[in-house]
Amino acid sequence: MISIILAGGAGIRLWPLSRKFWPKFLIKLPYEKYTLLQKTFLRVKSFTDVEKIFVVVNKEHKFLVKENIQDLGIKFPIENILAEPEIKNTLPAVTFVCSVIKEKYSSEEIISVFPSDHFIKDEKKFARFIKKAVNIAKKGPIVLFGIKPTRVETGYGHIETNEKFDEDSFYIKRFIEKPDFETAKSLSVLDNVYWNSGIFVFSLKTFFEELKIYQPEIYKFFLEKNFETKLEKIYSQLPNIPIDKGLIEKTKNVVVIPLGILWDDLGSWAAIERIYQKDNQGNIILAKNVDIGSKNIIVVGDRRVVATCGLEDVIVVDTEDALLVINKNFDQKVKDIVEKISDETVLYHKTVQRPWGFYTVLKQEKGYKVKLINVLPNKKLSLQKHKKRAEQWFVVKGVAKITCNNKVFYLKQNETLRIEKNTPHRLENPSSKNILEIIEVAYGSYLGEDDIIRLEDDFGRK
Protein backbone atom coordinates (compact mmCIF):
# COMPACT_ATOMS: atom_id res chain seq x y z
CA MET A 1 0.00 0.00 0.00
CA ILE A 2 1.02 3.59 -0.69
CA SER A 3 -0.07 6.40 1.63
CA ILE A 4 -0.61 10.06 0.77
CA ILE A 5 -0.57 12.69 3.52
CA LEU A 6 -2.32 15.95 2.63
CA ALA A 7 -0.43 18.88 4.16
CA GLY A 8 -1.56 21.79 2.05
CA GLY A 9 -3.75 23.88 4.33
CA ALA A 10 -3.25 27.21 6.07
CA GLY A 11 -3.42 28.12 9.74
CA ILE A 12 -6.67 29.92 10.30
CA ARG A 13 -9.06 27.91 12.45
CA LEU A 14 -6.65 27.41 15.36
CA TRP A 15 -5.29 30.95 15.28
CA PRO A 16 -3.30 32.32 17.05
CA LEU A 17 -1.46 29.04 17.69
CA SER A 18 -1.49 28.38 13.95
CA ARG A 19 -0.80 30.98 11.27
CA LYS A 20 -0.88 31.16 7.49
CA PHE A 21 2.82 30.32 7.34
CA TRP A 22 2.68 28.01 10.35
CA PRO A 23 -0.34 25.84 9.53
CA LYS A 24 -2.32 23.66 11.88
CA PHE A 25 -0.46 20.46 11.02
CA LEU A 26 2.80 21.98 12.34
CA ILE A 27 1.51 22.79 15.81
CA LYS A 28 2.00 20.67 18.88
CA LEU A 29 -1.06 20.35 21.03
CA PRO A 30 -0.34 21.07 24.70
CA TYR A 31 1.60 18.29 26.45
CA GLU A 32 2.12 16.43 23.18
CA LYS A 33 5.56 15.27 22.06
CA TYR A 34 4.90 15.54 18.33
CA THR A 35 3.27 17.94 15.91
CA LEU A 36 0.04 16.85 14.23
CA LEU A 37 1.97 16.15 11.02
CA GLN A 38 4.54 14.06 12.88
CA LYS A 39 1.79 12.08 14.62
CA THR A 40 0.12 11.46 11.25
CA PHE A 41 3.42 10.39 9.69
CA LEU A 42 4.17 7.96 12.52
CA ARG A 43 0.63 6.60 12.37
CA VAL A 44 0.88 6.01 8.63
CA LYS A 45 4.36 4.53 9.00
CA SER A 46 2.91 1.80 11.23
CA PHE A 47 1.21 0.24 8.19
CA THR A 48 3.12 1.73 5.22
CA ASP A 49 6.76 1.32 4.18
CA VAL A 50 8.53 4.67 4.57
CA GLU A 51 9.53 4.83 0.90
CA LYS A 52 5.85 4.46 -0.01
CA ILE A 53 4.70 7.49 1.97
CA PHE A 54 4.11 10.66 -0.05
CA VAL A 55 3.36 14.10 1.36
CA VAL A 56 1.76 16.81 -0.77
CA VAL A 57 2.36 20.36 0.42
CA ASN A 58 1.93 24.00 -0.47
CA LYS A 59 5.28 25.12 -1.90
CA GLU A 60 5.55 27.79 0.82
CA HIS A 61 5.58 25.05 3.46
CA LYS A 62 7.83 22.49 1.77
CA PHE A 63 10.96 23.20 3.80
CA LEU A 64 8.93 23.29 7.04
CA VAL A 65 7.39 19.90 6.27
CA LYS A 66 10.80 18.51 5.34
CA GLU A 67 12.34 19.64 8.63
CA ASN A 68 9.34 18.48 10.63
CA ILE A 69 9.63 14.95 9.26
CA GLN A 70 13.42 14.92 9.52
CA ASP A 71 13.11 15.85 13.21
CA LEU A 72 11.63 12.38 13.73
CA GLY A 73 15.03 10.89 12.88
CA ILE A 74 13.50 8.71 10.17
CA LYS A 75 15.26 8.21 6.86
CA PHE A 76 12.63 9.49 4.44
CA PRO A 77 13.09 10.14 0.70
CA ILE A 78 12.77 13.90 0.35
CA GLU A 79 11.62 13.51 -3.26
CA ASN A 80 8.40 12.07 -1.82
CA ILE A 81 7.49 15.55 -0.58
CA LEU A 82 5.60 16.98 -3.54
CA ALA A 83 4.83 20.70 -3.69
CA GLU A 84 1.76 22.13 -5.38
CA PRO A 85 2.64 25.20 -7.46
CA GLU A 86 -0.25 26.98 -5.74
CA ILE A 87 -2.86 26.12 -3.15
CA LYS A 88 -5.67 24.10 -4.65
CA ASN A 89 -8.19 21.85 -3.03
CA THR A 90 -7.75 18.15 -2.41
CA LEU A 91 -8.79 16.70 -5.78
CA PRO A 92 -5.99 18.37 -7.79
CA ALA A 93 -3.55 17.59 -4.97
CA VAL A 94 -4.45 13.90 -4.75
CA THR A 95 -4.45 13.56 -8.54
CA PHE A 96 -1.02 15.19 -8.71
CA VAL A 97 0.45 12.67 -6.27
CA CYS A 98 -1.36 9.70 -7.81
CA SER A 99 0.03 10.69 -11.21
CA VAL A 100 3.56 10.68 -9.83
CA ILE A 101 2.90 7.32 -8.18
CA LYS A 102 1.46 5.90 -11.42
CA GLU A 103 4.80 6.43 -13.15
CA LYS A 104 6.57 4.24 -10.59
CA TYR A 105 4.05 1.64 -9.47
CA SER A 106 1.41 -0.76 -10.78
CA SER A 107 -2.14 0.46 -11.38
CA GLU A 108 -3.26 -2.27 -8.96
CA GLU A 109 -1.49 -0.49 -6.10
CA ILE A 110 -3.76 0.49 -3.21
CA ILE A 111 -3.64 4.15 -2.19
CA SER A 112 -4.70 5.57 1.17
CA VAL A 113 -5.23 9.30 1.69
CA PHE A 114 -4.95 11.02 5.08
CA PRO A 115 -5.30 14.63 6.22
CA SER A 116 -2.21 15.67 8.15
CA ASP A 117 -3.95 17.36 11.07
CA HIS A 118 -6.50 14.94 12.52
CA PHE A 119 -6.56 13.60 16.05
CA ILE A 120 -6.92 9.81 16.31
CA LYS A 121 -6.86 8.15 19.71
CA ASP A 122 -6.40 4.40 19.18
CA GLU A 123 -3.59 3.99 16.64
CA LYS A 124 -3.54 0.18 16.64
CA LYS A 125 -7.27 -0.10 16.16
CA PHE A 126 -7.07 2.47 13.37
CA ALA A 127 -4.47 0.33 11.59
CA ARG A 128 -6.89 -2.60 11.69
CA PHE A 129 -9.58 -0.47 10.06
CA ILE A 130 -7.12 0.50 7.33
CA LYS A 131 -6.40 -3.18 6.68
CA LYS A 132 -10.14 -3.81 6.23
CA ALA A 133 -10.37 -0.89 3.81
CA VAL A 134 -7.44 -2.18 1.78
CA ASN A 135 -9.12 -5.57 1.37
CA ILE A 136 -12.31 -3.91 0.14
CA ALA A 137 -10.46 -1.53 -2.20
CA LYS A 138 -8.81 -4.52 -3.87
CA LYS A 139 -12.31 -5.57 -4.98
CA GLY A 140 -12.84 -2.27 -6.79
CA PRO A 141 -14.73 0.28 -4.67
CA ILE A 142 -13.41 3.52 -3.30
CA VAL A 143 -13.57 3.29 0.50
CA LEU A 144 -14.12 6.20 2.84
CA PHE A 145 -14.36 6.22 6.60
CA GLY A 146 -17.43 7.48 8.42
CA ILE A 147 -17.63 8.69 12.01
CA LYS A 148 -20.77 8.09 14.07
CA PRO A 149 -22.08 11.51 15.15
CA THR A 150 -21.62 12.27 18.84
CA ARG A 151 -23.19 15.74 18.67
CA VAL A 152 -25.06 18.04 16.32
CA GLU A 153 -22.42 19.19 13.85
CA THR A 154 -22.91 21.61 10.95
CA GLY A 155 -19.23 21.75 10.00
CA TYR A 156 -18.96 18.23 8.56
CA GLY A 157 -20.41 16.59 5.51
CA HIS A 158 -22.77 13.74 6.43
CA ILE A 159 -23.21 10.34 4.79
CA GLU A 160 -26.44 8.36 4.82
CA THR A 161 -25.79 4.67 4.22
CA ASN A 162 -27.81 2.02 2.47
CA GLU A 163 -27.57 -1.77 2.61
CA LYS A 164 -24.36 -3.56 3.49
CA PHE A 165 -21.56 -4.09 0.97
CA ASP A 166 -19.98 -6.63 3.29
CA GLU A 167 -19.79 -7.19 7.03
CA ASP A 168 -17.59 -4.12 7.55
CA SER A 169 -18.96 -1.59 5.05
CA PHE A 170 -22.08 -0.07 3.54
CA TYR A 171 -23.22 1.32 0.23
CA ILE A 172 -23.96 5.04 0.31
CA LYS A 173 -27.49 6.33 -0.18
CA ARG A 174 -26.62 10.03 -0.26
CA PHE A 175 -24.19 12.73 0.85
CA ILE A 176 -25.41 15.75 2.81
CA GLU A 177 -22.99 18.65 2.51
CA LYS A 178 -22.54 20.56 5.82
CA PRO A 179 -26.21 20.70 6.83
CA ASP A 180 -27.94 23.49 8.72
CA PHE A 181 -28.50 23.00 12.44
CA GLU A 182 -31.99 21.52 12.25
CA THR A 183 -31.00 19.08 9.51
CA ALA A 184 -27.84 18.10 11.39
CA LYS A 185 -29.91 17.57 14.53
CA SER A 186 -32.29 15.20 12.77
CA LEU A 187 -29.41 13.34 11.11
CA SER A 188 -27.44 12.91 14.34
CA VAL A 189 -29.99 10.49 15.82
CA LEU A 190 -30.16 8.18 12.80
CA ASP A 191 -28.32 4.87 13.02
CA ASN A 192 -27.28 4.91 9.36
CA VAL A 193 -25.72 8.39 9.24
CA TYR A 194 -22.01 9.18 9.60
CA TRP A 195 -19.69 12.16 9.32
CA ASN A 196 -17.29 12.17 6.39
CA SER A 197 -13.80 11.82 7.89
CA GLY A 198 -11.90 12.79 4.74
CA ILE A 199 -9.88 9.55 4.86
CA PHE A 200 -10.01 7.46 1.67
CA VAL A 201 -8.64 4.17 0.35
CA PHE A 202 -8.77 3.09 -3.31
CA SER A 203 -6.82 1.36 -6.02
CA LEU A 204 -4.84 3.52 -8.42
CA LYS A 205 -6.76 1.91 -11.28
CA THR A 206 -10.18 2.73 -9.80
CA PHE A 207 -9.18 6.31 -9.02
CA PHE A 208 -8.20 7.12 -12.60
CA GLU A 209 -11.17 5.26 -14.06
CA GLU A 210 -13.57 7.34 -11.96
CA LEU A 211 -11.59 10.54 -12.57
CA LYS A 212 -11.85 10.02 -16.33
CA ILE A 213 -15.64 9.84 -16.06
CA TYR A 214 -16.34 12.65 -13.62
CA GLN A 215 -13.39 15.05 -14.03
CA PRO A 216 -12.16 14.57 -17.61
CA GLU A 217 -10.24 17.88 -17.72
CA ILE A 218 -8.15 17.00 -14.68
CA TYR A 219 -7.70 13.46 -15.97
CA LYS A 220 -6.57 14.68 -19.39
CA PHE A 221 -3.90 16.99 -18.00
CA PHE A 222 -2.34 14.47 -15.65
CA LEU A 223 -2.51 11.74 -18.29
CA GLU A 224 0.02 13.61 -20.43
CA LYS A 225 3.59 12.41 -20.43
CA ASN A 226 6.02 14.66 -18.56
CA PHE A 227 3.11 16.61 -17.07
CA GLU A 228 5.50 17.84 -14.36
CA THR A 229 7.19 20.13 -16.89
CA LYS A 230 3.87 21.95 -17.43
CA LEU A 231 2.70 21.81 -13.84
CA GLU A 232 3.59 25.38 -12.92
CA LYS A 233 1.77 26.79 -15.93
CA ILE A 234 -1.32 24.58 -15.99
CA TYR A 235 -2.01 23.98 -12.29
CA SER A 236 -3.63 27.38 -11.81
CA GLN A 237 -6.21 26.46 -14.46
CA LEU A 238 -7.34 23.31 -12.65
CA PRO A 239 -10.61 23.55 -10.71
CA ASN A 240 -10.30 24.35 -7.03
CA ILE A 241 -12.41 21.43 -5.87
CA PRO A 242 -12.26 18.96 -2.97
CA ILE A 243 -12.01 15.27 -3.73
CA ASP A 244 -15.34 14.74 -1.96
CA LYS A 245 -17.36 17.02 -4.22
CA GLY A 246 -15.36 16.44 -7.36
CA LEU A 247 -15.28 12.65 -7.28
CA ILE A 248 -16.46 10.76 -4.21
CA GLU A 249 -19.97 12.23 -4.17
CA LYS A 250 -20.40 11.66 -7.92
CA THR A 251 -19.30 8.06 -8.31
CA LYS A 252 -21.51 5.09 -7.45
CA ASN A 253 -18.44 2.95 -6.86
CA VAL A 254 -17.93 3.95 -3.23
CA VAL A 255 -18.61 2.39 0.17
CA VAL A 256 -18.19 3.59 3.74
CA ILE A 257 -16.63 1.86 6.74
CA PRO A 258 -17.78 3.14 10.15
CA LEU A 259 -14.64 4.13 12.03
CA GLY A 260 -15.22 3.08 15.62
CA ILE A 261 -12.53 5.12 17.36
CA LEU A 262 -12.11 8.58 18.88
CA TRP A 263 -11.50 10.92 15.94
CA ASP A 264 -11.51 14.68 15.57
CA ASP A 265 -10.48 16.99 12.74
CA LEU A 266 -9.58 19.73 15.26
CA GLY A 267 -11.57 22.20 13.22
CA SER A 268 -11.97 24.74 16.01
CA TRP A 269 -10.81 25.47 19.54
CA ALA A 270 -13.93 23.79 20.93
CA ALA A 271 -12.38 20.48 19.80
CA ILE A 272 -10.03 20.75 22.79
CA GLU A 273 -12.99 19.73 24.98
CA ARG A 274 -13.28 16.47 23.11
CA ILE A 275 -9.69 15.32 23.58
CA TYR A 276 -8.63 16.71 26.97
CA GLN A 277 -10.10 15.94 30.38
CA LYS A 278 -12.04 18.61 32.27
CA ASP A 279 -11.55 19.47 35.92
CA ASN A 280 -14.36 19.54 38.48
CA GLN A 281 -15.52 22.95 37.23
CA GLY A 282 -15.63 21.82 33.62
CA ASN A 283 -12.44 23.72 32.81
CA ILE A 284 -9.58 22.61 30.59
CA ILE A 285 -6.42 24.42 31.62
CA LEU A 286 -3.45 23.97 29.28
CA ALA A 287 -1.36 26.89 30.50
CA LYS A 288 0.22 28.45 33.56
CA ASN A 289 -3.08 29.57 35.00
CA VAL A 290 -4.46 31.19 38.12
CA ASP A 291 -8.24 31.03 38.25
CA ILE A 292 -10.98 32.05 40.63
CA GLY A 293 -14.52 30.89 40.06
CA SER A 294 -14.51 30.19 36.33
CA LYS A 295 -16.60 27.42 34.79
CA ASN A 296 -16.44 25.58 31.47
CA ILE A 297 -13.47 27.54 30.16
CA ILE A 298 -10.54 26.51 27.98
CA VAL A 299 -7.18 28.19 28.57
CA VAL A 300 -4.24 27.50 26.25
CA GLY A 301 -0.83 29.13 26.57
CA ASP A 302 2.84 28.23 26.73
CA ARG A 303 4.68 31.30 28.00
CA ARG A 304 2.98 33.73 30.36
CA VAL A 305 0.80 33.22 33.39
CA VAL A 306 -2.83 33.57 32.31
CA ALA A 307 -5.09 34.76 35.13
CA THR A 308 -8.85 34.22 34.83
CA CYS A 309 -11.69 35.06 37.18
CA GLY A 310 -15.43 34.49 36.99
CA LEU A 311 -15.47 33.48 33.35
CA GLU A 312 -17.93 31.01 31.88
CA ASP A 313 -18.03 29.29 28.48
CA VAL A 314 -14.97 31.21 27.28
CA ILE A 315 -11.89 30.15 25.32
CA VAL A 316 -8.57 31.92 25.98
CA VAL A 317 -5.56 31.24 23.75
CA ASP A 318 -2.40 33.16 24.61
CA THR A 319 0.72 33.34 22.43
CA GLU A 320 3.75 35.61 22.45
CA ASP A 321 2.24 38.18 20.12
CA ALA A 322 -1.51 37.56 20.01
CA LEU A 323 -4.33 36.80 22.44
CA LEU A 324 -7.69 35.25 21.55
CA VAL A 325 -10.64 35.52 23.95
CA ILE A 326 -13.86 34.15 22.53
CA ASN A 327 -17.16 32.72 23.71
CA LYS A 328 -17.43 29.01 23.02
CA ASN A 329 -20.60 29.55 21.04
CA PHE A 330 -18.65 31.73 18.60
CA ASP A 331 -15.57 29.54 18.14
CA GLN A 332 -16.39 29.05 14.45
CA LYS A 333 -15.96 32.82 14.04
CA VAL A 334 -12.18 32.70 14.47
CA LYS A 335 -11.79 32.77 10.69
CA ASP A 336 -13.90 35.95 10.55
CA ILE A 337 -11.75 37.52 13.26
CA VAL A 338 -8.56 36.69 11.40
CA GLU A 339 -9.90 38.29 8.23
CA LYS A 340 -10.26 41.57 10.12
CA ILE A 341 -6.67 41.57 11.40
CA SER A 342 -4.43 43.64 9.15
CA ASP A 343 -0.97 43.03 10.60
CA GLU A 344 1.41 40.08 10.24
CA THR A 345 0.11 38.17 13.27
CA VAL A 346 -2.20 36.49 10.75
CA LEU A 347 0.78 35.29 8.74
CA TYR A 348 3.62 34.62 11.16
CA HIS A 349 4.60 34.03 14.74
CA LYS A 350 7.19 36.39 16.19
CA THR A 351 9.80 33.73 15.50
CA VAL A 352 9.66 32.59 11.89
CA GLN A 353 11.36 29.46 10.56
CA ARG A 354 13.23 29.66 7.28
CA PRO A 355 15.21 26.97 5.40
CA TRP A 356 18.42 28.81 6.30
CA GLY A 357 17.55 29.31 9.98
CA PHE A 358 15.06 31.61 11.70
CA TYR A 359 14.39 35.17 12.74
CA THR A 360 12.54 36.82 15.62
CA VAL A 361 10.79 40.17 15.34
CA LEU A 362 11.95 42.16 18.37
CA LYS A 363 10.05 45.35 17.68
CA GLN A 364 7.96 46.87 14.92
CA GLU A 365 6.56 50.36 14.63
CA LYS A 366 5.49 52.52 11.74
CA GLY A 367 8.49 52.95 9.47
CA TYR A 368 10.83 50.38 11.02
CA LYS A 369 11.15 46.73 12.06
CA VAL A 370 13.88 45.16 14.22
CA LYS A 371 14.78 41.48 13.84
CA LEU A 372 17.26 39.08 15.38
CA ILE A 373 18.37 36.84 12.50
CA ASN A 374 19.95 33.43 13.14
CA VAL A 375 21.68 31.77 10.19
CA LEU A 376 22.57 28.10 10.56
CA PRO A 377 26.11 26.86 9.79
CA ASN A 378 26.97 26.83 6.06
CA LYS A 379 23.58 28.31 5.15
CA LYS A 380 22.83 31.46 3.21
CA LEU A 381 19.83 33.61 2.46
CA SER A 382 18.72 34.27 -1.10
CA LEU A 383 20.44 36.89 -3.21
CA GLN A 384 17.70 39.51 -3.03
CA LYS A 385 16.69 43.14 -3.10
CA HIS A 386 13.83 45.22 -1.73
CA LYS A 387 11.85 47.95 -3.44
CA LYS A 388 10.45 49.67 -0.39
CA ARG A 389 12.93 49.26 2.42
CA ALA A 390 16.57 49.78 3.33
CA GLU A 391 18.31 47.65 5.96
CA GLN A 392 21.01 48.08 8.57
CA TRP A 393 22.84 44.94 9.69
CA PHE A 394 24.81 44.60 12.92
CA VAL A 395 26.75 41.40 13.65
CA VAL A 396 26.07 40.18 17.18
CA LYS A 397 27.79 36.80 17.04
CA GLY A 398 29.96 35.06 14.46
CA VAL A 399 31.29 36.23 11.11
CA ALA A 400 28.97 37.17 8.25
CA LYS A 401 29.86 36.68 4.61
CA ILE A 402 28.22 39.49 2.66
CA THR A 403 27.46 39.84 -1.01
CA CYS A 404 26.42 43.40 -1.86
CA ASN A 405 26.37 44.91 -5.35
CA ASN A 406 28.51 42.04 -6.67
CA LYS A 407 31.15 42.63 -4.00
CA VAL A 408 31.95 39.91 -1.46
CA PHE A 409 33.35 40.78 1.97
CA TYR A 410 33.08 39.79 5.64
CA LEU A 411 31.62 41.49 8.70
CA LYS A 412 32.88 40.56 12.16
CA GLN A 413 31.24 40.94 15.55
CA ASN A 414 30.23 44.56 16.31
CA GLU A 415 30.61 45.60 12.66
CA THR A 416 27.71 47.07 10.72
CA LEU A 417 26.49 47.59 7.15
CA ARG A 418 23.71 49.63 5.57
CA ILE A 419 21.96 48.26 2.49
CA GLU A 420 19.95 50.71 0.40
CA LYS A 421 16.73 50.01 -1.48
CA ASN A 422 17.02 48.04 -4.74
CA THR A 423 20.53 46.85 -3.83
CA PRO A 424 21.22 43.15 -4.54
CA HIS A 425 22.54 41.58 -1.35
CA ARG A 426 23.01 38.26 0.39
CA LEU A 427 23.84 37.11 3.91
CA GLU A 428 25.77 33.89 4.49
CA ASN A 429 27.18 32.01 7.46
CA PRO A 430 30.59 30.62 6.41
CA SER A 431 31.06 28.73 9.68
CA SER A 432 30.58 24.97 9.68
CA LYS A 433 29.90 24.88 13.43
CA ASN A 434 28.45 28.10 14.83
CA ILE A 435 25.21 29.99 14.30
CA LEU A 436 25.52 33.51 12.92
CA GLU A 437 23.45 36.13 14.74
CA ILE A 438 22.77 39.60 13.39
CA ILE A 439 20.42 42.42 14.26
CA GLU A 440 18.57 43.77 11.24
CA VAL A 441 16.78 47.11 11.30
CA ALA A 442 14.58 47.65 8.26
CA TYR A 443 13.45 51.18 7.37
CA GLY A 444 10.80 52.09 4.84
CA SER A 445 7.22 52.81 3.91
CA TYR A 446 6.38 49.10 3.67
CA LEU A 447 8.02 46.34 5.70
CA GLY A 448 6.07 43.24 4.67
CA GLU A 449 7.90 39.99 4.00
CA ASP A 450 6.58 39.93 0.45
CA ASP A 451 8.82 42.87 -0.49
CA ILE A 452 11.56 40.48 -1.57
CA ILE A 453 12.80 40.09 -5.13
CA ARG A 454 14.86 36.91 -5.16
CA LEU A 455 17.62 36.78 -7.75
CA GLU A 456 19.16 33.47 -6.62
CA ASP A 457 18.05 30.99 -3.99
CA ASP A 458 19.48 27.68 -2.77
CA PHE A 459 16.00 26.47 -1.82
CA GLY A 460 14.17 27.07 -5.08
CA ARG A 461 12.05 29.95 -3.78
CA LYS A 462 10.94 32.74 -6.08
309 has a pLDDT exceeding 90: yes
The whole-number pLDDT of residue 30 equals 85
79 has a pLDDT exceeding 70: yes
The whole-number pLDDT of residue 11 equals 63
Instruction: Say how many residues make up the chain.
Output: 462
The whole-number pLDDT of residue 77 equals 93
Residues 6+ apart with CB under 8 A from 350: 320, 321, 360, 361
The whole-number pLDDT of residue 31 equals 85
Structural domains in the chain, CATH included, are 2-264 (3.90.550.10), 278-340 (no CATH), 351-456 (2.60.120.10)
- Asked if the bond preceding 16 is cis, omega within 30° of 0, the reply is yes
Give yes or no for a contact between 200 and 211, defined as CB atoms under 8 angstroms apart. no
pTM, two decimals, is 0.89
149-174 burial: b if 16+ Cβ within 10 Å, else e: beeebeebbbbbbeeebeeebbebee
218-228 burial: b if 16+ Cβ within 10 Å, else e: bbebbeeeebe
Q: What average pLDDT score do residues 85-114 get? A: 92
* Residue 36 identity (one-letter amino acid): L
21 has a pLDDT exceeding 90: no
138 has a pLDDT exceeding 90: yes
pLDDT per position as a tens digit, 196-253: 999 999 999 999 999 999 999 899 888 877 777 778 778 888 888 999 999 999 999 9
pLDDT per position as a tens digit, 366-413: 999 999 999 999 999 999 999 999 999 999 999 999 999 999 999 999
The whole-number pLDDT of residue 155 equals 85
The CA angle 417-420-424, to the nearest 5 degrees, is: 90
140 has a pLDDT exceeding 70: yes
Residues 6+ apart with CB under 8 A from 369: 361, 363, 441, 442, 447
Closest CA to 40 of 110, 138, 118: 118
The whole-number pLDDT of residue 397 equals 96
What are the backbone angles phi and psi of residue 142, rounded to the nearest 5°?
-80, 135
94 has a pLDDT exceeding 90: yes
C-alpha 218/C-alpha 209 separation (Å) is 12
Report the sign of the C-alpha dihedral through residues 101, 103, 108, 109, in that order.
Answer: negative
- Which of 186-190, 235-239, 318-322 has the weakest average pLDDT? 235-239
Mean pLDDT value across the chain: 92
